[in-house]
Amino acid sequence: MKVLIDMNLSPQWVPVLEEAGWEAVHWSRTGRPDAPDHEVLDYARSNGYVIFTHDLDFGTVLAATKADFPSVIQIRTQDVTPAHLGQLVISALRQFKQHLGAGALITVDEKKLRARILPLQS
């Protein structure tokens, strides 16, 4: 699985995810820092990436467009550092690997993990 880390998360996530066995790239290495969400989504879709973000707008775009890909894993907590959430995110990636491969929106917060299969239903 390939993970595209959004601009709102630190590039420090790259080695954390790579050490856990995933190919990872930070958006700053791939696209414009000010790129709109649809550009990030299009890139991820075209190149087979799962988007990893702290931006809730990706879920909104997926719902509005009834898209079935790319998968998105979003963090819903204040401390989004790898030191704080690294193990939880790795656990979520492992737990929901099949979902992410098929198209899903995974939500991670400090108390629970949630998976919603794409396309999202209203």
Domains, the chain: 2-117 (3.40.50)
CA dihedral 103, 114, 21, 101 (to 10 degrees): -10
Tens of pLDDT along 42-81? 999 999 999 999 999 998 898 888 999 999 999 999 999 9
When pLDDT is averaged across residues 10-29 and rounded to a whole number, the result is: 97
Residue-level pLDDT at 122: 58
Cα angle 26-31-36, degrees, rounded to a multiple of 5:
105
Terminal Cα distance for the chain, rounded: 28
Tokens of 45: 């879709």
Q: Give the residue carrying structure tokens 């988007």.
A: 51
